[in-house]
Structure formats: C-alpha cells, structure tokens
Structure 1
Amino acid sequence: MTLENTPAADARRRRSAARLAAVQALYQHASSRTPQARLIAEFHDHRLGAEVEGEQLSAADQPFFDDLVSGTLARLDELDALVASFLGSGWTLDRLDRLMLQILRAGAYELVARPDVPRAAVVSEYVDVAHAFYEKREAGFVNALLDRLGRSVRDGEG
C-alpha cells in the first residue's frame, strides 16, 4: 500500500472534497438563497462524488460537508464579524467578491468550531480551495487572513 492509498490519505482527500463542495454550496446559497435543507440534499444527490461533464468528482466526507455548510450558515453574523476584523484598513466584507467571502467564512468556521482539525491544515486546505478559483495573489490573501484569524482563535496552537 503506497502512502497515497492509505485510509488516512483517503480520509484527507474526502475532507478536501467536502471543503471544496461546501464553499460551492455556500456560494450557491449566497447567490440564490436556496434553503439549507434543499441545498444539502441537492449536493448529496447530484454533486458529492458525482460525474460532471464526463469527469468523476472526488467522493466527499458527507457528515463533514454537512457540518461545514450548516455550521457556517448558522454562525454567519459571528463569522462575518470575525473575518471583517482581520481585513486591512479600508476593506469591508462588501469589497470581497461573493466566492472569496464564502472561502473565508468556511475557513473561519472550521477554525472556530472544529478544534479536531489542526489550524495549519485548515489554512492550507482553504488556500488550496482558493487556488481552484483564483490566482496566486488571492490565494495568498486567504493564507494571510486565515492564518492571522487562526492564531487569534487557537491561542497557543502551533
């Protein structure tokens, strides 16, 4: 069994897929106000691990996906205030594009609510999500903001 084919590696891939799908679901919710239950059901039925345009999507950790989406939506005001507190001078949440805001919200949620996931792993994973949609500069912005946010909410974690 190679390192990439271990159960631990599979679990990491499934969580990575869940994070990407969660950001997409949050974007859909922000764009169309799809009710949460319908949104999650739609992703379970048609997106997580599905084949899209002839390409097989990675299987996702569904309970983790569900927690990221429902937890982020339940704590939007708290997460938005937290993200806003780490934006640079003159920046507001309104200046962020809708997708970037969802990446930061999901990352902030995971840093605040999922102490079972190491801070550095959370930051790295959302930088990877940002790379799926943006250039290096924007991914660097995600890295810097979530790293500072993570250090503030996870005092003492290396």
Structure 2
Amino acid sequence: MSRKKIPGTIQAAVAEAYEVVGPLKRIQGVLGLPLSSLSYGTEIREDRPGGLGVNYLDRLGQIMPEAAEPIAQYFAALAGGIYQPVDLSGVMSADIHRLTMAFSDVLQRHAEAHSATSKDPSDYTPEEARAQVKEVDDLLAVGAALRAALISKAEGTS
C-alpha cells in the first residue's frame, strides 16, 4: 500500500495485514469487497473512522492466518498488553527445560547489565535493554507455548 500510515492506528494494522497477504486483488477475491472498500480500510480521515469491519478482519484472518498477526498486535497493545505467537512444535517434556533455559538467559543478561563490566552497572544501557527485551520475549514465547500445551491437556484436546 502506498497510503501514509500512522503507527499504532487500526488503519496501520489493516495496511500491515494487507501487506502480509496482498496484493489487494487477492484480498478482494477472498473477502468479496470492492477495492474501494479495502482502500477505505487504511484511510485516515477526521470525518469518518476508516478501518475495516471486524467481521471482515475475522474472515481475512480465518482464511489467511498470517493477516491476523498485525491485527492481534494492534488490539493487544490497545488493551495494554502484547501479542506473542505460540509455537506448539516440539515435545512437551522438553518445555520445562526450554523454560528454565530461557529464564536462565534473562538472569544472565540481568547480571551482565549490573556487573562491573557494564557501562552503567546501576541500570540497563539502551543496548543492554534491547538485548534483555529479546531474552524476555523468548521467555514469554516458551512460557506461552508451555501454557497452551497444558491447557490442551487439561481440556483433553491433545
């Protein structure tokens, strides 16, 4: 899409969903909407809200799951949270090992950031913070995967 995007808006999330699965002609075929309606979904105007109807977003995500991720990220941020995709591959018995390893990596980064070798041992430097965010994201992903596997077992669906 060539339309200007304002980060953090539903229009930007819809545009990102389009970019993931595009081109618009393909999306038009899937949703059965005119191109003008699809274009309207990314338009930012003061006199009307823009965006794409939730039912269409749901349908697009059902048919093209990769389009759902930008929308999930948008709504998670709107609710004050984050969206973390869950990787359910692998053997569940390894999940505790993966969880403890990921937690160990977080602790290691924390110790390094507060050691004498750090540029600022009393706090995270921007570089250390970026590296720690990656480790925390990895920990969250492993924890979410373990949780999903346990829910599936608890509900008898695995």
**Shared fold (TM-score greater than 0.5)?**
no
Bigger CA radius of gyration: 2
Write 1 or 2 for the structure with the bigger share of helix. 1
